[in-house]
Amino acid sequence: MLQLARYRGPTVVIAGLLVWLVVLDIALTSAVGFTGGWLPNSELPTDSGVFLVTGGRLSGIRAQPEPVGLGTEKPFGVFLGQSSLGATVESDVVEQQDGLPLRWLNLHGWGSSVNLVRDVAELLFLSDLKPNIVVFAINPFMLIGIDFPTQHAFLAEEEGKNLKKWIWIYNNRAPVNHGCRVLMHRIKLGLCRRFGFDFRALYPAKPDPWKTSPRTRLAPDSPAQQAVRLEHFRKLGWFEPGRYSPESTSSRALVDLVRESRARGAKVGIILMPEHSAMRKRVPAEGARCFAEINRINFRDDPVPVYDLRDSISDDLFVDVVHPGVDGTRPASTLVAQCVRDILSAHPAPEKLRAAAHGQPSGVTAGEDAGRDPPGS
């Protein structure tokens, strides 16, 4: 016969832990709500997988026998952005088309926010590599970014689990998991800065850091899927003119990134990535104008050239409203190469790169330098 008295101690401990967990869950629900509003900038942290890939590629370049970048005979450039950059730009195509002796490193994450681009750029700066040029390949909506409570509610509605929203620990397991991993990442970076640890000790070097992964051909969104996606973006506020501000957290992050890149000797440019017309016509004009405002306020004497490729490729080349498919990468990358060549010219003039119908990108005036002819024009 089973003697229950023998298990009284463990049973009391387990019951006590369950009660403590329930009390903790109720306290968290009361204090911060169902959706984790305590997250910085109301956004999920950058995924640790992005850090691993980015750090490994940077370590791989550091480990190469010949140095690269400023002050060397091997110049290189860096693209910084999010998933729209990863889907749009092929580094090897840019190298073939820009007519420059540059290698290109495409460092993209995911998350639709300049705040999260800063997380990736931090690794570049910490690696002590000094690229000759840094290009922020982003979209206007990234100046608003992802509002986590809205995103969270959208995902919860998709899953359709009514009980889940009442259990804080289960409902917020993804951001808690992300938060813990990012905390460890921050601790490691802090130790690296404090004690001068070699960056390569944190991230194993990739043997071929310039090589990119092959792209997968994906089926494009159906009209119904596209409508759901656009409604989601509407709820995030991407189509509201009043949400675009040069003082937003992502706008300030962009200013900081430009300044830090320039302080390290790099030329800097901004390229607005292609968008499907269904997306482009909904994003207000204030989105693109915000970049001119950022220049006017922060870089009046030396504005950052801004190139607008949002309408540069046709809708049939997109998988969804912000990500080109495999067939869209070469034409888009060729246009990016033209922008890069102009950025590195003596007097970059993005407003002169127009006539998308003739294979040229259209431009956004970058400040008070309008009207200058690009070299060779």
C-alpha 350, offset from chain centre: 23
Confidence of residue 347 (pLDDT cuts 50, 70, 90): confident
Q: Alpha-carbon distance 227 to 320, whole Å?
A: 10
4, 133, 281 from 176: Cα distances, Å: 37, 36, 36
pLDDT at 60 over 90: yes
Own/partner contacts of 242-249, CB < 8 Å, gap of 24 or more, are 242/286, 243/144, 244/140, 244/143, 244/144, 244/284, 244/286, 244/287, 244/289, 244/290, 245/143, 245/290, 246/290, 246/293, 246/294, 246/297, 246/298, 248/143, 248/144, 249/41, 249/115, 249/145
Across all residues in the chain, what is the average pLDDT?
A: 84
CB 87, CB 324: distance < 8 Å: yes
pLDDT at 158 over 70: no
Fold of 47-147+205-364: Rossmann fold (3.40.50)
Most confident of 4-8, 44-48, 324-328: 324-328
The per-residue pLDDT for 366 is 44
The per-residue pLDDT for 356 is 42
Mean pLDDT of 248-275: 96
Confidence of residue 350 (pLDDT cuts 50, 70, 90): confident
pLDDT at 343 over 50: yes
CB 93, CB 123: distance < 8 Å: no
Q: Please tell me whether the overall predicted TM-score, pTM, comes out greater than 0.75 for this model.
A: yes
133-138 and 103-108 strand pairing: unpaired
The per-residue pLDDT for 108 is 93
Residue 361's SS3 state is coil
The per-residue pLDDT for 352 is 74
Confidence of residue 370 (pLDDT cuts 50, 70, 90): very low
* pLDDT tens per residue across span 281-309: 999 999 999 999 999 999 999 999 999 99
Confidence of residue 322 (pLDDT cuts 50, 70, 90): very high
Q: What is the 3-state secondary structure (H, E, C) of 312-339?
A: CCCHHHECCCCCECHHHHHHHHHHHHHH
* pLDDT tens per residue across span 172-221: 777 777 778 888 888 888 888 888 777 788 888 998 899 888 888 889 99
* pLDDT tens per residue across span 62-107: 999 899 999 999 999 999 999 999 999 999 999 999 999 999 999 9
Q: Alpha-carbon distance 192 to 32, whole Å?
A: 33
Q: Alpha-carbon distance 30 to 24, whole Å?
A: 10
* pLDDT tens per residue across span 302-318: 999 999 999 999 999 99
Confidence of residue 111 (pLDDT cuts 50, 70, 90): confident
Which of the residue ranges 32-41, 141-150, 152-161 would you say has the lowest mean pLDDT?
32-41
Percent of the chain with pLDDT over 70: 85
pLDDT at 357 over 60: no
Most confident of 103-112, 181-190, 343-352: 103-112
Q: Alpha-carbon distance 276 to 54, whole Å?
A: 28
* pLDDT tens per residue across span 12-42: 888 888 888 888 877 877 776 665 555 556 6
Confidence of residue 377 (pLDDT cuts 50, 70, 90): very low
